[in-house]
């Protein structure tokens, strides 16, 4: 009988890694091929540009964008894209998202219906820097490790 494969996604705004669970008693395994890093955020210039018109030189309006927020949202979209591709390749049967509240909200905003259907649960804690043993201890309420 084929084991039910659960992916545990440990995410923060800079790095995402995946642990695999293949049934009770088998523990968690880090999947080294499924580690994603956010690109470095481009910091916009502080100063408005100077434009020239018939009325003379003037300072143009500058859109006030938060480069970190834009970068975080794009990274969440990329992570969900990677997970959707892995799901279509039948790499996992169930999914657990483990992330701090900020990144978890960004991931929720991007998740598609197919991933939502296999989403077993969420844990709103940033465990991305914890050991596998510590992560397993926190997952007790969602899955039996």
Q: What is the mean pLDDT of residues 107-114?
A: 96
- Rounded to an integer, the average pLDDT of 25-40 is 92
CA distance 7 to 17: 10
User: Taking Cα atoms as reference points, which of 106, 31, 42 lies closest to residue 74?
Assistant: 106
- Reported in sequence order, the residue ranges of the chain that DSSP labels E, i.e. its strands, are 6-11, 15-21, 28-37, 50-53, 56-59, 94-99, 119-123
Answer yes or no: are the C-beta atoms of 109 and 87 closer than 8 Å. no
User: How many Å apart are CA 51 and CA 71, to the nearest integer?
Assistant: 28
Residues constituting the chain? 145
Question: Residue 60 has what pLDDT?
Answer: 56
The pLDDT of residue 63 is above 70 = no
Average the pLDDT over 56-74 and give the result. Answer: 72
pLDDT over threshold 70, residue 43: no
pLDDT at 45: 59
- All domains in the chain, ordered by first residue: 6-41+48-141 (3.30.420.60)
* Residue 54 pLDDT greater than 80, yes or no: no
* pLDDT-derived band at 137, boundaries 50, 70, 90: very high
pLDDT in tens, 16-27: 999 999 988 888
Q: Is the pTM value of this prediction over 0.95?
A: no
Contact between residue 22 and residue 3 where contact means Cβ atoms under 8 Å apart: yes
The CB density around residue 15, as the number of other CB atoms within 10 Å, is: 14
Residue 143 pLDDT greater than 70, yes or no? yes
């Amino acid at each position: 009988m084929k084991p039910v494969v659960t992916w545990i996604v440990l995410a923060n705004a800079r790095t995402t890694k995946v642990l695999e669970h293949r049934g009770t008693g088998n523990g968690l395994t880090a999947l080294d091929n499924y580690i994603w890093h956010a690109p470095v955020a481009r910091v916009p210039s502080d100063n408005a540009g100077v434009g020239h018109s018939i009325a003379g030189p003037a300072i143009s309006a500058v859109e006030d964008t938060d480069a970190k927020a834009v970068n975080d949202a794009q990274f969440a979209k990329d992570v969900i894209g990677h997970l959707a591709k892995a799901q279509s390749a039948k790499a996992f049967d169930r999914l657990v998202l483990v992330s701090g509240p900020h990144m978890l909200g960004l991931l929720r905003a991007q998740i598609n219906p197919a991933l939502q259907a296999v989403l077993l649960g969420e844990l709103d804690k940033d465990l991305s820097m914890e050991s596998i043993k510590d992560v397993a201890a926190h997952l007790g309420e969602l899955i039996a490790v």
